[in-house]
A and B are shown apart, each in its own frame.
Chain A
Protein backbone atom coordinates (compact mmCIF):
# COMPACT_ATOMS: atom_id res chain seq x y z
CA UNK A 1 0.00 0.00 0.00
CA UNK A 2 2.17 2.84 1.21
CA UNK A 3 5.84 2.84 0.20
CA UNK A 4 8.04 1.90 3.11
CA UNK A 5 11.20 2.90 1.30
CA UNK A 6 10.51 6.57 1.61
CA UNK A 7 11.50 7.94 4.98
CA UNK A 8 8.20 9.20 6.28
CA UNK A 9 9.19 9.31 9.92
CA UNK A 10 11.54 12.29 9.89
CA UNK A 11 9.97 15.65 10.56
CA UNK A 12 9.41 17.89 7.59
CA UNK A 13 12.63 19.79 6.92
CA UNK A 14 11.94 23.44 7.75
CA UNK A 15 13.91 26.17 6.04
CA UNK A 16 16.13 27.89 8.57
CA UNK A 17 14.64 31.35 8.10
CA UNK A 18 11.77 32.25 10.39
CA UNK A 19 9.90 33.78 7.48
CA UNK A 20 9.84 30.48 5.66
CA UNK A 21 8.80 28.77 8.87
CA UNK A 22 6.00 31.26 9.39
CA UNK A 23 4.86 30.75 5.82
CA UNK A 24 4.87 27.01 6.34
CA UNK A 25 2.90 27.22 9.57
CA UNK A 26 0.54 29.70 7.98
CA UNK A 27 -0.14 27.53 4.98
CA UNK A 28 -0.48 24.54 7.27
CA UNK A 29 -3.03 26.26 9.48
CA UNK A 30 -4.78 27.32 6.30
CA UNK A 31 -5.09 23.69 5.29
CA UNK A 32 -6.56 22.70 8.64
CA UNK A 33 -9.03 25.59 8.34
CA UNK A 34 -10.08 24.37 4.90
CA UNK A 35 -10.63 20.88 6.31
CA UNK A 36 -12.73 22.08 9.23
CA UNK A 37 -14.74 24.40 6.97
CA UNK A 38 -15.36 21.52 4.56
CA UNK A 39 -16.63 19.26 7.36
CA UNK A 40 -18.83 22.04 8.76
CA UNK A 41 -20.20 22.82 5.29
CA UNK A 42 -21.02 19.14 4.78
CA UNK A 43 -22.68 18.83 8.19
CA UNK A 44 -24.65 22.07 7.97
CA UNK A 45 -25.80 21.60 4.38
CA UNK A 46 -26.73 17.94 4.81
CA UNK A 47 -28.74 18.65 7.93
CA UNK A 48 -30.56 21.66 6.55
CA UNK A 49 -31.44 19.87 3.29
CA UNK A 50 -32.94 17.10 5.38
CA UNK A 51 -34.86 19.55 7.56
CA UNK A 52 -36.26 21.34 4.53
CA UNK A 53 -37.37 18.10 2.91
CA UNK A 54 -38.71 16.53 6.07
CA UNK A 55 -40.32 19.28 8.12
CA UNK A 56 -40.13 22.60 6.33
CA UNK A 57 -43.39 23.85 7.81
CA UNK A 58 -42.10 23.63 11.38
CA UNK A 59 -39.65 26.51 11.13
CA UNK A 60 -39.24 27.66 7.52
CA UNK A 61 -37.30 30.82 8.31
CA UNK A 62 -34.79 29.00 10.49
CA UNK A 63 -34.29 26.17 8.03
CA UNK A 64 -33.80 28.48 5.07
CA UNK A 65 -31.25 30.46 7.07
CA UNK A 66 -29.48 27.22 7.88
CA UNK A 67 -29.39 26.21 4.21
CA UNK A 68 -28.02 29.64 3.35
CA UNK A 69 -25.37 29.20 6.02
CA UNK A 70 -24.43 25.84 4.53
CA UNK A 71 -23.96 27.40 1.11
CA UNK A 72 -21.87 30.22 2.59
CA UNK A 73 -19.66 27.68 4.38
CA UNK A 74 -19.25 25.81 1.11
CA UNK A 75 -18.18 28.97 -0.71
CA UNK A 76 -15.83 29.87 2.18
CA UNK A 77 -14.24 26.42 1.94
CA UNK A 78 -13.66 26.81 -1.79
CA UNK A 79 -12.40 30.39 -1.34
CA UNK A 80 -9.89 29.35 1.32
CA UNK A 81 -8.73 26.32 -0.64
CA UNK A 82 -8.39 28.32 -3.84
CA UNK A 83 -6.65 31.22 -2.10
CA UNK A 84 -9.34 33.64 -3.16
CA UNK A 85 -8.71 36.06 -0.32
CA UNK A 86 -11.39 38.59 -1.01
CA UNK A 87 -14.09 35.97 -1.44
CA UNK A 88 -12.91 34.22 1.72
CA UNK A 89 -12.94 37.51 3.61
CA UNK A 90 -16.47 38.31 2.45
CA UNK A 91 -17.96 34.89 3.16
CA UNK A 92 -16.26 34.48 6.55
CA UNK A 93 -17.39 37.95 7.61
CA UNK A 94 -20.95 37.15 6.56
CA UNK A 95 -20.87 33.95 8.60
CA UNK A 96 -19.55 35.70 11.67
CA UNK A 97 -22.26 38.34 11.47
CA UNK A 98 -24.78 35.59 10.77
CA UNK A 99 -23.89 33.42 13.76
CA UNK A 100 -23.86 36.44 16.08
CA UNK A 101 -27.15 37.90 14.86
CA UNK A 102 -29.08 34.65 14.43
CA UNK A 103 -27.56 33.26 17.62
CA UNK A 104 -28.77 36.27 19.58
CA UNK A 105 -32.22 36.25 18.00
CA UNK A 106 -32.53 32.51 18.70
CA UNK A 107 -31.93 33.18 22.37
CA UNK A 108 -33.92 36.38 22.99
CA UNK A 109 -36.69 36.08 20.43
CA UNK A 110 -36.82 32.57 18.95
CA UNK A 111 -40.35 33.17 17.72
CA UNK A 112 -38.95 35.58 15.12
CA UNK A 113 -37.27 32.60 13.52
CA UNK A 114 -40.37 30.50 14.00
CA UNK A 115 -38.68 28.36 16.62
CA UNK A 116 -40.78 26.99 19.46
CA UNK A 117 -37.82 26.43 21.68
CA UNK A 118 -34.21 27.46 21.72
CA UNK A 119 -32.86 23.96 22.27
CA UNK A 120 -29.84 23.89 19.95
CA UNK A 121 -29.95 20.10 19.81
CA UNK A 122 -33.62 19.79 19.10
CA UNK A 123 -35.66 19.05 16.02
CA UNK A 124 -35.62 22.63 14.86
CA UNK A 125 -32.04 23.41 15.68
CA UNK A 126 -29.99 25.06 13.00
CA UNK A 127 -26.31 25.65 12.57
CA UNK A 128 -26.48 29.21 14.00
CA UNK A 129 -28.95 28.58 16.82
CA UNK A 130 -27.51 29.59 20.17
CA UNK A 131 -24.26 30.65 18.50
CA UNK A 132 -23.76 27.19 17.04
CA UNK A 133 -24.02 25.36 20.34
CA UNK A 134 -25.42 22.36 18.51
CA UNK A 135 -22.15 22.18 16.59
CA UNK A 136 -19.87 22.59 19.62
CA UNK A 137 -19.64 26.36 19.01
CA UNK A 138 -17.51 25.66 15.94
CA UNK A 139 -19.67 28.06 13.84
CA UNK A 140 -18.76 30.81 16.31
CA UNK A 141 -15.05 30.12 16.73
CA UNK A 142 -14.22 29.15 13.16
CA UNK A 143 -14.91 32.50 11.42
CA UNK A 144 -12.83 34.30 14.06
CA UNK A 145 -9.94 31.92 13.38
CA UNK A 146 -10.54 32.33 9.67
CA UNK A 147 -10.34 36.12 9.84
CA UNK A 148 -7.19 35.96 11.96
CA UNK A 149 -5.67 33.58 9.45
CA UNK A 150 -6.55 35.87 6.52
CA UNK A 151 -5.11 38.86 8.30
CA UNK A 152 -1.92 36.91 9.02
CA UNK A 153 -1.60 35.63 5.49
CA UNK A 154 -1.88 39.15 4.12
CA UNK A 155 1.38 40.03 5.84
CA UNK A 156 3.20 37.15 4.19
CA UNK A 157 4.22 37.11 0.55
CA UNK A 158 1.87 34.98 -1.50
CA UNK A 159 3.05 31.41 -2.03
CA UNK A 160 3.28 30.00 -5.54
Chain B
Protein backbone atom coordinates (compact mmCIF):
# COMPACT_ATOMS: atom_id res chain seq x y z
CA UNK B 1 0.00 0.00 0.00
CA UNK B 2 1.17 3.52 -0.65
CA UNK B 3 0.87 5.50 2.54
CA UNK B 4 -0.30 8.81 1.11
CA UNK B 5 -2.88 7.16 -1.09
CA UNK B 6 -4.16 5.04 1.79
CA UNK B 7 -4.56 8.05 4.06
CA UNK B 8 -6.40 9.93 1.31
CA UNK B 9 -8.63 6.91 0.79
CA UNK B 10 -9.59 6.73 4.46
CA UNK B 11 -10.36 10.46 4.48
CA UNK B 12 -12.54 10.16 1.38
CA UNK B 13 -14.42 7.20 2.87
CA UNK B 14 -15.03 9.07 6.14
CA UNK B 15 -16.22 12.17 4.30
CA UNK B 16 -18.51 10.06 2.14
CA UNK B 17 -19.83 8.38 5.29
CA UNK B 18 -20.45 11.69 7.02
CA UNK B 19 -22.09 13.16 3.93
CA UNK B 20 -24.46 10.26 3.45
CA UNK B 21 -25.41 9.87 7.11
CA UNK B 22 -26.09 13.61 7.48
CA UNK B 23 -28.04 13.87 4.23
CA UNK B 24 -29.92 10.69 5.05
CA UNK B 25 -30.95 11.85 8.50
CA UNK B 26 -31.94 15.16 6.90
CA UNK B 27 -34.42 13.24 4.76
CA UNK B 28 -32.65 13.07 1.41
CA UNK B 29 -33.21 10.04 -0.77
CA UNK B 30 -30.15 8.53 -2.48
CA UNK B 31 -29.14 10.85 -5.31
CA UNK B 32 -26.24 11.34 -7.67
CA UNK B 33 -24.15 12.96 -4.92
CA UNK B 34 -24.56 10.26 -2.26
CA UNK B 35 -24.51 7.34 -4.67
CA UNK B 36 -21.58 8.93 -6.50
CA UNK B 37 -19.68 9.20 -3.23
CA UNK B 38 -19.94 5.43 -2.78
CA UNK B 39 -18.91 4.89 -6.40
CA UNK B 40 -15.81 6.99 -5.67
CA UNK B 41 -15.06 4.88 -2.59
CA UNK B 42 -15.34 1.74 -4.73
CA UNK B 43 -13.09 3.17 -7.45
CA UNK B 44 -10.44 3.91 -4.82
CA UNK B 45 -10.75 0.35 -3.52
CA UNK B 46 -10.25 -0.98 -7.04
CA UNK B 47 -7.17 1.24 -7.36
CA UNK B 48 -5.98 -0.22 -4.05
CA UNK B 49 -6.44 -3.70 -5.50
CA UNK B 50 -4.32 -2.82 -8.52
CA UNK B 51 -1.62 -1.30 -6.30
CA UNK B 52 -1.59 -4.42 -4.12
CA UNK B 53 -1.37 -6.73 -7.13
CA UNK B 54 1.55 -4.91 -8.77
CA UNK B 55 3.41 -4.12 -5.53
CA UNK B 56 5.52 -7.28 -5.49
CA UNK B 57 6.72 -6.46 -9.00
CA UNK B 58 7.78 -3.03 -7.72
CA UNK B 59 9.63 -4.60 -4.84
CA UNK B 60 7.08 -3.59 -2.20
CA UNK B 61 6.13 -6.50 0.00
CA UNK B 62 3.57 -6.55 2.79
CA UNK B 63 4.93 -7.48 6.18
CA UNK B 64 1.73 -9.07 7.41
CA UNK B 65 -0.31 -11.93 6.03
CA UNK B 66 -1.07 -11.50 2.32
CA UNK B 67 -4.15 -13.78 2.34
CA UNK B 68 -5.64 -11.90 5.31
CA UNK B 69 -5.02 -8.62 3.50
CA UNK B 70 -6.93 -9.89 0.47
CA UNK B 71 -9.76 -11.27 2.64
CA UNK B 72 -10.30 -7.73 3.89
CA UNK B 73 -9.88 -6.16 0.44
CA UNK B 74 -12.29 -8.55 -1.28
CA UNK B 75 -14.84 -8.14 1.52
CA UNK B 76 -14.48 -4.38 1.26
CA UNK B 77 -14.93 -4.43 -2.53
CA UNK B 78 -18.29 -6.17 -2.08
CA UNK B 79 -19.79 -3.60 0.23
CA UNK B 80 -20.18 -0.37 -1.82
CA UNK B 81 -21.88 -2.12 -4.77
CA UNK B 82 -24.35 -3.78 -2.42
CA UNK B 83 -25.01 -0.47 -0.68
CA UNK B 84 -25.47 1.34 -4.01
CA UNK B 85 -27.80 -1.41 -5.21
CA UNK B 86 -29.83 -1.03 -2.03
CA UNK B 87 -29.89 2.73 -2.53
CA UNK B 88 -31.13 2.37 -6.10
CA UNK B 89 -33.80 -0.18 -5.28
CA UNK B 90 -35.16 1.48 -2.18
CA UNK B 91 -34.99 5.24 -2.36
CA UNK B 92 -35.64 6.38 1.17
CA UNK B 93 -33.70 8.49 3.62
CA UNK B 94 -32.65 5.35 5.43
CA UNK B 95 -31.00 3.84 2.40
CA UNK B 96 -28.97 7.05 2.24
CA UNK B 97 -27.97 6.44 5.86
CA UNK B 98 -27.05 2.87 4.88
CA UNK B 99 -24.76 4.32 2.18
CA UNK B 100 -23.03 6.30 4.91
CA UNK B 101 -22.69 3.28 7.18
CA UNK B 102 -21.15 1.34 4.30
CA UNK B 103 -18.65 4.14 3.61
CA UNK B 104 -17.59 4.22 7.29
CA UNK B 105 -17.19 0.45 7.24
CA UNK B 106 -14.84 0.80 4.27
CA UNK B 107 -12.79 3.41 6.14
CA UNK B 108 -12.35 1.00 9.05
CA UNK B 109 -11.46 -1.89 6.76
CA UNK B 110 -8.85 0.16 4.87
CA UNK B 111 -7.24 1.13 8.19
CA UNK B 112 -7.20 -2.57 9.11
CA UNK B 113 -5.64 -3.46 5.75
CA UNK B 114 -2.94 -0.84 6.29
CA UNK B 115 -2.20 -2.37 9.70
CA UNK B 116 -1.86 -5.81 8.13
CA UNK B 117 0.38 -4.47 5.39
CA UNK B 118 2.90 -2.92 7.75
CA UNK B 119 2.34 -5.13 10.81
Contact = CB atoms under 8 A, between A and B. Distances in A.
Q: Do A and B come from one complex?
A: yes
List of 10 A-B pairs having minimum Cβ-Cβ separation, nearest first: A11-B27, A28-B94, A35-B98, A8-B31, A31-B94, A50-B71, A39-B105, A46-B75, A8-B29, A46-B71
Interface in A27-58: 27-29, 31-32, 35-36, 38-39, 42-43, 46-47, 49-50, 53-54
Contact of B101 (A27, A36, A49): A36
A81 to B, nearest CB: 11
Contacts of B28: 8-9, 11
Interface SS, B side: helix
Interface in B80-97: 82-83, 86, 88, 90-95, 97
A50 B79 CA distance: 19
Nearest to B106: A39
Chain B residues touching A, range = 35 or more
A43 B31 contact: no
Nearest to B108: A136
Contacts of B67: 50, 53-54
Chain A residues touching B, range = 20 to 34
B71 A47 contact: yes
B32 interface: yes
B55 interface: no
Interface in A44-92: 46-47, 49-50, 53-54
B94 A32 contact: yes
Given A43-B75, A43-B109, A50-B67, A28 B97 contact: yes
Given A2-B35, A46-B71, A54-B68, A32 B97 contact: yes
Given A9-B31, A32-B101, A54-B68, 19 more contacts: A2-B88, A4-B32, A8-B30, A11-B93, A12-B92, A12-B93, A27-B94, A28-B93, A28-B94, A28-B97, A31-B92, A31-B94, A35-B86, A35-B98, A42-B79, A47-B71, A49-B71, A54-B65, A121-B115
